Amino acid sequence: MGIETWHIWIIIAILLFIVEIFAPTFLAACLGIGCITAAIFTFFDFGFKLQLVAFSIGTLISFFGIRPFMLKYALHRKNDVKTNVDALVGKIGTVTVEIDNSKNQGRITVYGDDWRAEAGNEDVIKVGEKVQVLKIDSTILVVKRLNNKEI
C-alpha cells in the first residue's frame, strides 16, 4: 500500500501547522485547515476539482470565521510585560551626581544601576534627592523631582 492523495493533503496540513508555530499569525493554520478539508474529500474519492473547491472553502471559512476570533482572544497580548530599559519608566531612583541640564550633568541610581539623567522640567536636582523616571531618551533617563508626599 503506497501513499495516497489524501496522505499528501494531511502531510501538507501538518507542515503548515508546524510553520504556524513559528509564525503565529493564523495564516498557515487556515491553509492547513483547508488541506484537511481537501483530504476528507479525497478520502471519499471525490475528483481533483472538488478537492480544490473543498480546500478553498475550508481555507476561506477558517480565514474569515476562525482567524478573527483567534487573533482577538488567543494571540492578543493585553498585558505585555515591559522589560529592560522600558521597565524603568515610572520607577524611583536616587540622584548620585547633581542633575543640572545647563551643565549637561547628572546621574541617578535605579535598582542599583547607574544612569545618566536629565531633569524633565529644567530644575537643578541635588545629590541624594529621590526622582521618578518620566521617559527614556536613548541612554538618558528624563526624571522629575519627587516631593516627600510622593515617596
d(CA 51, CA 54): 5
Neighbour-count burial of 43, counting CB atoms closer than 10 A to its CB (0-12 exposed, 13-18 middle, 19+ buried): middle
Domain boundary among 45, 74, 103: 74
Residue 150 lies in a domain: no
How many domains does the chain fold into? 2
d(CA 105, CA 126): 11
Which cell goes with 117?
539623567
- How big is the CA angle at 62 (ends 44 and 8), to the nearest 5 degrees? 40
Per-residue pLDDT of the chain in tens (151 residues, 90 and over written 9):
678 889 999 999 999 999 988 887 889 999 999 999 999 999 998 999 999 999 999 999 999 998 888 777 776 565 666 656 778 888 999 999 999 888 889 999 998 889 999 988 877 898 999 999 998 888 889 999 887 666 5
Residue 79 lies in a domain: no
Domain range for 135: 84-145
pTM over 0.85: no
Closest CA to 125 of 55, 133, 25: 133
Shared domain check, 102 and 64? no
Residue 130 lies in a domain: yes
CATH code of the domain in which 139 resides = 2.40.50.140
Shared domain check, 88 and 69? no
Shared domain check, 138 and 92? yes
